[in-house]
A and B are shown apart, each in its own frame.
Chain A
Amino acid sequence: MIKLKINNIEVTAKKGESILDVAIRNGIKIPAVCRHSDLEPKSSCRLCLVSIKGINGFHTSCSTYVENGMEVTTDSPEIRKLRKINLELLFSQHIEQCNQCNWKYKCRLLSLAKDYNIKITKFNDRKKGFPEKKFGPSIVFDSSKCIDCKNCVQMCQKQGIGYLTVKEKDGFFQVVTDPKKECVYCGQCITHCPSGAFEEVSSVEDVEKELKNNYVVFQFAPAIRSSIGEEFGMPYGSITTGKLAASIKKLGAKKVFDVSVSADITTIEEGGELIERLSSGKNLPMFTSCCPSWVRYVEVYRPELAKNLTSVRSPHIILGGLTKTYFANKEKIDPKKIIVVSVMPCTSKKYEILREELKVDGMKPVDYVLTTRELGRLLKKNNIDFSNIKDEALDPPWNESTGAGVIYGNTGGVMESALRTVYEKLTGKELKKLDFKEVRGLEGSKEAKVKIGNRVVNVAIINGLGNIGKIDLKKYDYIEVMACPGGCIGGGGQPIPVDNEIREKRALSLYKIDKNNKIRMAHKSPIVEMIYKDFLNNKKNIHKTCHTKYFPKNK
């Protein structure tokens, strides 16, 4: 235990903690723009300056570590003056487009500008006319908003991709894309950018048009229900399933469905495939495929692993397909007139829906993807008071999922759902302990040995693509991979800011929903039972709505 004083207040800390972290924990405000707890401090914004008694000069509190007896001052006229100048310089390279910005209501830069009373236009904008670049159908990088903190580059490297890099141009080292690499659209650059230079390619306006003119069906992912409240100032981890149904209805959607329902179908299909592969011993380990960034990563960077991916489609693609076949037929609606909009925690899903091989009877299963943030924006635009709206029910037939379907939003969730189902299917016995604690949590890689009957199934769970290299794939039978830290609750389409504390709260809420659900296993879902009886009762229908193929790049 270390004892130190910050602004004459005695505080305690652990060895290895930064002054900034200790100060924040004790409610002492220090401005810091480039700092993100997922990344090593770069101490480049030079705003978190503090002075330390007995040591000359000013020190960046993000990268200066506590020592016993330290006496730290976080505010003084000189510190304020330096912060003010550095803020003015930061603004000199940032073209403000606050109106359309991801940070809009919660911009740290803007609130610091007020706190320090700076003139944000003191210098002319040196990035005027700097280009915008689109990364596929998912992400757009506006380099004129970039403040060169390089968090995005660091994060892209941490993800094991390195699509974003730094190159010298006109006397400046700038963030650029590496032409030799391909983006996997995970969107972590967006959630780690403090200046809103990265955003999703927006579909808000398209969806608004469809809402005016067409039969629009919304379906939202498991991870949305515990995160979207943040966009409306609700506490982290607020569960808002009923509010989602009510507010989306208010937008004019004809139906609001829950993708957790089809997550249960994914589990049935994927569980079946796992049982098959375990008995044949072929193409093990089997990988999950719900995460389109992971699938793209395999196709582009590890094509030799494509045969190990499960052939099962991701839940929202399955549900969109079922809506345009089974549901359309039942409701006697021309499926070509149904517009399916998925609300996803994800930017990569915008790319996934364009994959040709997913078409069902010539139709795209999903027509548009909105991120959690985009839905927030759309609701605000329509003056819908999300935090106060009265809960409404979701629409049948895709209204009630099991607990297993909801935890799909967490890292380890797909695995846990599959294990519950595979256990009962393989042994024919009732699973007593439903919680698989070993597969939960935010560590980048986890593993478990699960005894099913008389065999042990070795499983691993990866979240954060960069962690894939940390395990020996050959050791396992079944591996879940999610590109984003924490899985979908930490997705590239989720509200900002995000860090492990926030991810934890979002995740716990999904586990809470699971815990309180009467039905917690995919194969016990009445909807699943019904759909397998009425529609998924032949290979053709199962194949066209639930399975897919992959296109590994030739190396």
Chain B
Amino acid sequence: MDIVKKIEEAGLKGRGGGAFPTALKWTLAKKAKGKEKYVVCNASEGEPNVFKDGYILDNCLEEVINGIKIAQDFISAKDSYIYLNKNYSINKDVGNIIVFKKNSGYIGGEESSMCEAIEGKRAEPRKRPPFLTDCGLFGCPTLVNNVETFYYVSKIAKGEYNHCRFFSINGDVPNAGVYELPEDKTIFQALKETNNYPNFDFFTQIGGGASGEIMLPQELNKPVFGAGSITVYNRKTTDKYDLMEKWAEFFHTGNCDKCVPCREGAFRVYEMIKERNIDYDKLDDIFLTLKKSSFCSLGKGIPLPFESLMKKIR
């Protein structure tokens, strides 16, 4: 059976946060016409509280490389790249795969920005369409998957796929770390089974330590989403303005500054929160334009953590 059928049957979805069906992406990249094609493994993992890709690279690099090679063979790619977080390192042999160290901020992990960076340009998102599977790196069809996705492709190819995913569990917990658990485990179960479920009043941020949504204890009866992180915050000891300031600074300094809503909007959000002087009319305006008129999904996603926190934690 061909690999894409196996991936499809396994129901694998992208583990970088977007949850795009992997089999479909591979099919598009295979069908795309182009003299040359490329495979890129996105190992830029740059959001706070998400560290599972680093763990996988440290502990299961062979599987990741195997996954990349399967992709390279499948779409007959000329070259494959690993686009690596600048604080990560790979000390083992990766064969012909080119390791490219990320040299930009958070936005550099967005996959079209990543292509720009590898091409030697400023990391800035591209307008889509065209999609990367048609016109990606150096204008060629390009298949981009996250580290974890390639890891599981390798497992699927070997018939060892166990429908698991990697959880980055952190925050006010006793046993912080990366855990491989069944993907349908609820957040509640994941915390319980890793002996991390708090015995104090708390809230969580799910799917990313900046862009993730705030979830209350009674909302945890569902699987984890996004980049698979669970951050626990002690309600008593957490200052919500400190927390928001951290996010806001992250977005303001980590974005690419290309479009007005994100460049100026993220800055004003940071400014207002930092000064603890929030004009809610202005904030609502900025959130509206971020959601509706930002260039890329980073900008569109900025309001979610703030709005969910302000709504749920009074």
Question: Which residues of A pack against B, CB within 8 Å?
Answer: 42-46, 49, 57-58, 63, 78, 81-82, 85-86, 88-90, 92-93, 122-123, 126, 148, 166, 168, 171-173
Contact = CB atoms under 8 A, between A and B. Distances in A.
Nearest to B253: A171
A553 B189 CA distance: 71
Given A92-B268, A172-B267, 9 more contacts: A43-B127, A46-B260, A78-B292, A85-B286, A89-B268, A89-B286, A166-B122, A168-B105, A171-B252
B293 A43 contact: no
24 contacts: A43-B127, A43-B259, A44-B258, A44-B260, A46-B259, A46-B293, A49-B293, A58-B293, A63-B127, A82-B289, A82-B292, A82-B293, A85-B261, A86-B261, A88-B285, A89-B268, A90-B264, A123-B268, A126-B271, A166-B122, A171-B252, A171-B267, A172-B267, A173-B257
B155 interface: no
Contacts of A172: 257, 263, 267
Contacts of A148: 257, 263
Contacts of A81: 288
Contacts, number: 70
B202 interface: no
Contacts of A173: 122, 256-257
A166 B288 CA distance: 28
Q: Which 6 A-B pairs have the closest CB atoms?
A: A89-B264, A173-B257, A85-B289, A171-B253, A46-B293, A85-B285
B266 to A, nearest CB: 9
B260 A89 contact: yes
Q: In the complex, which of the residues A49, A122, A171 has the most CB atoms of chain B within 10 Å of its own CB atom?
A: A171
Given A123-B268, A171-B252, A43 B288 contact: no
Interface in B286-305: 286, 288-289, 292-295
A148 B258 CA distance: 8
Contacts of B105: 168
Contacts of B288: 81-82, 85
A148 B265 CA distance: 14
Nearest to A92: B264
- Counting contact residues on chain B (CB < 8 A from A), the size range is 20 to 34
B235 interface: no
Contacts of B263: 148, 172
Contacts of A63: 127
B282 A122 contact: yes
B295 A43 contact: yes
Q: In the complex, which of the residues B105, B122, B256 has the most CB atoms of chain A within 10 Å of its own CB atom?
A: B122
Contacts of B293: 46, 49, 58, 82, 86
Given A46-B293, A57-B292, A82-B288, A93 B264 contact: yes
B22 to A, nearest CB: 24
B122 to A, nearest CB: 6
A45 B257 CA distance: 11
A355 B290 CA distance: 51
B273 to A, nearest CB: 14
A548 B265 CA distance: 54
A47 to B, nearest CB: 8
Nearest to B286: A85
Q: In the complex, which of the residues A58, A82, A89, A122 has the most CB atoms of chain B within 10 Å of its own CB atom?
A: A89
Contact of B289 (A44, A86, A126, A166): A86
A327 B9 CA distance: 91
Nearest to A34: B260
Contacts of A46: 259-261, 289, 293-295
Contacts of A45: 259-260
A269 B268 CA distance: 61
Contacts of A88: 285
B277 to A, nearest CB: 11
Contacts of A122: 282
A509 to B, nearest CB: 38
Contacts of B253: 171
A126 B270 CA distance: 13
Contacts of B264: 89-90, 92-93, 126
A81 B288 CA distance: 9
A78 B285 CA distance: 12
Nearest to A65: B129
A42 B127 CA distance: 9
A166 B282 CA distance: 29
A352 B268 CA distance: 44
Given A63-B127, A122-B282, A148-B263, A44 B292 contact: no
Q: In the complex, which of the residues B249, B265, B285 has the most CB atoms of chain A within 10 Å of its own CB atom?
A: B285
Contacts of B271: 126
A43 B124 CA distance: 12
A57 B285 CA distance: 17
Nearest to B284: A85
Contacts of A93: 264
A63 to B, nearest CB: 5
A233 to B, nearest CB: 31
A56 to B, nearest CB: 10
Interface in B216-253: 249, 252-253
Interface in B138-164: none
A90 to B, nearest CB: 6
A93 B259 CA distance: 13
